[in-house]
Structure 1
Amino acid sequence: MSRTTRFGNGLQIVTEAMPQASSVAIGVFVGVGSRDETQDQHGTSHFLEHLAFKGTREMSAKDLAISVDSFGGDMNAFTTKELTSFQVRLLGEATDLGVDILGKILTEPAFNVSDIESERNVILEEIAMAYDEPSDFVHEQLGASVYKTHSLGREVLGSRESILGINRDVISDFFSTYYGSANMVISAAGALEHEQIVEQFSSSLGQILPGKVPERDASHLWFSEPVVSEREIEQAHVSIAYPGIPRGDRRRWAMAALDHVYGGGLSSRLFQKVREEAGLCYSIYSDRVSYQDSGYLGVYFATSHFQLGRALDLVDSVTKEFGLAGMTEEELAVAKRYLRAQVLLAREDTASVMSQLGSVLVTGQQIKSIEEILAEIERVSVDEVAELAAEVFAGSRQISAVGPVPNGVFD
């Protein structure tokens, strides 16, 4: 069972002791991401994430690496469109080291000019790599097309132009504005004691100022003509968006079941029809994308250009049938068992538990017990899924494609 403590400055700490574990995973979650950047700041959240483990006023990047390596641990960080996280995982006996590292990188970041320049080059290579990979770029293009000029449509990495324009002042100002206690959650799971984690963070992050919580512009989906980037490659990569639900929607588990049966699992209709029976592609899947106030259900597949029309027709056929009839009781039973297993299996890993607790709390959602979550899954009915499927597959969709696309194939 998790425990939560709130400091006087608004900082929240959530922990879950896992007596069977030898490790402890600790993460700091900040409720700011690329969505909260201005056009001039585009890519700053991700840039700042890159700089986090480059050193503090007292420790170099190599010092940090040696300290964590000494206890068989690792350091990690990631940025999304709505949050940023910094994490360490190491033996439970070294909990104080993990707390110390996270406390220092988020209160005493060095932001050395030399580090900024070296990471600028790394990020530019990362942007180039994403562009060169059509299976990545097709998703970026889809997000940009469904959110148009809204900041959710901008890529987390930033653009080449925006990254070249970010300097130390931009990074430092962004950090000072948003990296405050009112916008931050500490999460830990594994071989730990709650009181110890609270006490150890009290002298670092427990003392910082509240900072600013981002004020977000409302988002909604736009559906328009297919967006195609022609490239001379072997396959056409296609990503399709259908209207989805926001992160906190009460129909979350109905959407999860829909996704699994539609294209998320090996037994899903898309995988079985398009790959297994028709042999039209190697990879095809669906995936849920949910933000604070909007979301979409995405489909991805890649196939040779001469098979694209046939593959698209088959995807459309499966989608239309699902929208009209929903799923069967047998399909729902399989989906429920799958979702139940995923929830329980995630509880065996300290990093997974830590990430789940932190991301839920920093996005303003309620932490629920395993029993409550499993009960919600079990309550999903075929009628609820059918109603949701009729809404999702009502007709509107956005297509993104990269590669050799025959004329008229999306007409």
Structure 2
Amino acid sequence: MTDDRKAIVPVWTLATGDARVPALAGDEPMTAERLAELRGVLAGLADEPIATLEVHPLPDQLDRGRGMPLDAASPLAQHLSQLITQSARSSSVAATATTAGDGLYRMVVPAKVAAQLGEGIVRPMASKAAAGGVHSALVSSTGIAAHATFVPVGKVAAAGAVGGAGATAGVAVAGSAALTVAAPLVLMAVAVGVSAHADHKRQQAIEHITELLEQLREEKLDAERSELDGCRDAIDKATAILLDQGKLGVSLGLDSAVHAISKALAAAGRRVAQWQSALDKLPEGKAVEIGSLTKSFPGVDEEGGTFRTHLELTALAIALKRRVIVLQAVEHAQSDSGNLFENFARALKADQQRLGQLESGVAGVLERLSALELARPHGLRPVFTTGEVDRLMRAAHRIHQLGDGVVADSRTTDVAIEIARGKDGSVVVFPALPA
């Protein structure tokens, strides 16, 4: 989406607690590049996590099915509505941009803050179109930013002070930059965005597993898939309750869902260890026969196969676990109104790091497999048929493709969370993605 009118875009700096930093932005308009620099400086100088929030016009075509809908009575929607209302009173730019009632709100959490929330939450998807490139599936492309002028919104009176644990908001210390303290808004946006991102990954894994099992017809793996995907109902209900600042109860079945996910992750960890051991035993620097490889990696040379199904089952378990971790983190944060975002970050980080280690193990296996050289099968015949050569070439190609989706650079990036707001105050939060 592009905007050749060079639109004026209001931008808020949102702190999750009282923060004192130099007044770097002032009231002067800035470019997208200057805004990105400001985010980095604020993240480096402020003691509390700081995010920025922009508002753009809603795109004409918007796939709301990718996001997580919340009605106007939800805490996130109410926090956002109060921020808009209070901002409109003190800023003509904010009033003009929000007068229609709807809009696309884009919150960017700096890389430093994203690292506090745990490595590996959001990683860019490698692009084959250009070396080192990444795909961006944000609702509003960077085309908007290229033609927009960003204007900081001045100090805002208490915004987002809606009931519930940790519902505090206001203006940072006088004399500092114009930071609006809106911990609940940042918390809820990050929580829903990460949860939506994880559910998107779950959907992708389920689609892949279904395709593979149709070819494989393996009942044991089908049962494992069903048990994992059966956890979704309890997780969805728990997510809805917590995002409405309710209390979780045993009737939801979340405990049994967590147990099933933990079993699947334990199985995934054992499989990764077995794969790593099998690769360690291969002769270094020598070509490997496909028959020897498939003993440890059954189906690795096929479009379907047990190995590829195990990969997708691992991705499914990780995605479900990420949603559970967010639920646990939100619950802990809401239980302590005076320590909202720190509780959230602390609870999220430890388990996310363990999941990141598992993902790194899988990525390492795929990279090593994709780099293998395949040898011709040994036999009595000195010459192979055209069909046998073709099969070997196809197998080599499929194995080498295993490394295509691996992200070699896993450094934490800025995380963008986009929120589509309707005229009635309801919102749809889209999956968090690299900014």
TM-score by length of 2: 0.25
**Structure label with greater radius of gyration:** 2
Instruction: Give the structure with the larger strand fraction.
Output: 1
TM-score by length of 1: 0.26
